[in-house]
Structure 1
Amino acid sequence: MTWGCIHDPGKRIDIYKGAEHLLTYQYGEDKPKSYFHPVRLPGGHVLTLDSPYDHYWHHGLYFAWKLINGFNFWEENEPAADSGKMRTIDNITANAGENGVHLQQKLVWECGEDHTLLMEEERSIRISDWDAADRPAPACGYWIAMDTTFRNATAKVLRFDRTPPETFSWGGYAGMSFRPVRSMAAAAIANSEGGSTVEQAHGMKAKWCDFAGPLDGGKDIFGGICMYDHPGNLRFSSPFYVWNTPELQFLQSAFLFEEAFDLPPGELLRLRYGMLVHAGRLTAEALANGFEQYAEKIAAD
């Protein structure tokens, strides 16, 4: 089946496989972040939460920094003078075909009441099939691959920072993020280093981490997202931020978990991540094979 998309310019892009709606990319002036929600399994079951009551600044599947030169780009409850926002410029392009959908987006990261420009971003996202030759039967799903480059647009160093985890147990977050639906509190967690619990995965360096669990809508429905850190990324393998309480489930490749990062004037930072959206319970072997598929095929230059 051919992939397709319906673009409501300045607002959203709905992405289809055949006649089935699988996911939506949300963006626009009314959005402080660009993000995917809903993200659905083939068959329609939703994996993501958008603006939950406990953390309304969590948005499905998304990338966001925490602090840039002290301005807060994460929480959306700070005074304007202390916060920042990412904003799409020009026209986002969406091209669909037999092999998938390709989105290209240019953004600026602005801060303060006067919307001072700090950074420019060029984002490329590809949604594609999980090849039958690469997946174990009867698993199904698809890939989301993000390739994004940030450029310091100022004459000073930009410092990317986070709430320090050594001071606050919940600190360390910033990066590629997944906010699952609450039924995933009964999660099955797995990472490349053999971790299978929050305690074994949170703050630990890994090539990949999978967060999957039961879903509402029928009997024995299970699925999740495995997040892959690209081997060409700076700080590979980064620690993962993994949280699972009755109220809050969360997965993130946490680029800043261990320390802040400085980007000199005019310099670039390129980051790439692969997200395997999958139904069912995948074995550690299948998830590890996914890393090879992502690095060698899905994210190939």
Structure 2
Amino acid sequence: MSRPMGAAFRVTSEHGRRVVVAVEGEGVGQGSGRVEVATYDLGSDVAAFEAPKPYLHPLRTLSGALVSAYRPHDHRWHKGLQMTVSHLDDQNFWGGSSYRHGEGYVPVDNVGRMRHDGFAAVEVTDAEVCLAEDLTWVTAAGEDWVSERRELRWHGLDVERGTWTLDFATELRNVRGADLRVGSPTTHGRPDAGYTGFFWRGPRGFTGGEVVTADPDAPAEPMGTTSPWLAYTGQHDEVDGGATLLFSAGTSSAPVPLRWFVRREPFPAVNPSPAFSEEVTIAPEETLTLRHQVVFADRAWNRAEVTAFAAEHAL
């Protein structure tokens, strides 16, 4: 693959703490020539109640505009873009209080963590960056329940169009020795709260933004629906203009469909949930595989532009 004219990926790292992916080249960063588009933080400083785990923040467009939120006051465990599970049997790898039917959200000593065990591979070229990471999901009691192989790929640089793309894939192998049930607050009795899995929390300026799916007749906030892709557009604080995040629902090895958890109010959030309204069971030594993609576009696209890009890239 040849690199795009005038732009290339660059990587710096701080051992055991974070990896920073930048784009350098003409037309990037409003003339500065360099933007750190994604920081992959390994979560070493995250408080126990917030479920320590790796996360992507800050996330930026090629102009340098911020498109992620970190520890907002309403949900301190929301950190940019994360892989996270709200209900894994009785354990909470999401962070914060746990939903209990009839009680609401209550603090429980069940908040787990995801331990970074190391990078199995790191590949960097001008055109793409690929990380393969091994992690272990550890319960509040210190038991290893999940062995994860995670792969992240930064690619798709297009300075003229103002886009870059992140691919995210994970294999979650059950090492508990008994069935694991992946669920959500909705599977536990709370309607329209099926969040679990790959989750993005947007900046406050994106509150009330526009959501577009493949269905032109979908509601403004298509909670719990299925669609091969979903775009969220919003307006920036601090700098002029807006941006679009185009999420591909991707694939799940589970026999239930991926459904969208999406909010515009009171905050912006998108999650292709693998267990929105139906639990997914992972048998001992079996693996749940999930693949997702996010395109970061440096402008607020309209429906025609989103649809054309999705068709061009077979989303």
Q: Into which bin does the TM-score normalised by the smaller protein fall?
A: 0.7 to 0.9
Partner residue of 2:84?
64
- 5, 15, 36: which one aligns with 1:9: 15
The whole-number CA distance in structure 2 between the counterparts of 1:293 and 1:130 is: 15
Count, aligned residues: 287
Q: Is the 8 A contact 2:70 2:78 kept in 1?
A: yes
Shift of 1:237: 4.9
Secondary structure, aligned partner of 1:106: strand
Q: Is the 8 A contact 1:156 1:264 kept in 2?
A: yes
Note the aligned Cα RMSD (angstroms). Answer: 2.3
Cα-to-partner distance string for 1:135-188 (whole Å, 9 max, x where unaligned): xxx631100000111101122111111112684245211011111111112311
- 77, 95, 98: which one aligns with 2:123: 95
- One-letter amino acid of the counterpart of residue 183, structure 2: D
Matched, 1:128 2:155: yes
Matched, 1:260 2:279: yes
Partner residue of 2:196?
174
- 206, 215, 218: which one aligns with 1:184: 206
The whole-number CA distance in structure 1 between the counterparts of 2:295 and 2:10 is: 19
Q: Is the 8 A contact 2:192 2:223 kept in 1?
A: no
Partner residue of 1:202?
223
Matched, 1:30 2:45: yes
Q: 1:94 to 1:293 in 2, by over 3 A?
A: farther
Shift of 1:206: 0.9
The whole-number CA distance in structure 2 between the counterparts of 1:83 and 1:231 is: 27
- One-letter amino acid of the counterpart of residue 245, structure 2: I
Secondary structure, aligned partner of 1:71: coil
Partner residue of 2:4?
none
Q: 1:167 to 1:159 in 2, by over 3 A?
A: closer
- 235, 243, 246: which one aligns with 1:214: 235
> What TM-score, normalized to structure 1?
0.87
Gaps of 5+ in 2: 1-6, 25-33, 47-51, 99-106
Partner residue of 1:117?
144
Q: Is the 8 A contact 2:113 2:137 kept in 1?
A: yes
Cα-to-partner distance string for 1:98-144 (whole Å, 9 max, x where unaligned): 1111111100011023x101010000100012457xxxxx6311000
- Show the 5 A alignment for 1:135-146: 139-146=161-168
The whole-number CA distance in structure 1 between the counterparts of 2:251 and 2:69 is: 29
Q: Is the 8 A contact 1:189 1:196 kept in 2?
A: no
Shift of 1:202: 1.1
Q: Is the 8 A contact 2:252 2:274 kept in 1?
A: no
Matched, 1:76 2:103: no
Shift of 1:244: 1.7
Shift of 1:284: 3.1
The whole-number CA distance in structure 1 between the counterparts of 2:171 and 2:14 is: 25
Identity of aligned residues (%): 21
The whole-number CA distance in structure 2 between the counterparts of 1:43 and 1:12 is: 22
The whole-number CA distance in structure 2 between the counterparts of 1:235 and 1:222 is: 37
The whole-number CA distance in structure 2 between the counterparts of 1:181 and 1:197 is: 22
Structure 1 residues 276-285 or 54-63, which shifts more? 276-285
> What TM-score, normalized to structure 2?
0.83
Q: Is the 8 A contact 2:130 2:154 kept in 1?
A: yes
Secondary structure, aligned partner of 2:144: strand
Q: Is the 8 A contact 1:49 1:60 kept in 2?
A: yes
- One-letter amino acid of the counterpart of residue 37, structure 2: L
Q: Is the 8 A contact 1:227 1:273 kept in 2?
A: yes
- One-letter amino acid of the counterpart of residue 150, structure 1: L
Q: 1:28 to 1:167 in 2, by over 3 A?
A: closer
Secondary structure, aligned partner of 1:55: coil
Structure 1 residues 81-90 or 43-52, which shifts more? 81-90
Shift of 1:288: 3.5
- 231, 246, 249: which one aligns with 2:268: 249
Shift of 1:95: 2.7
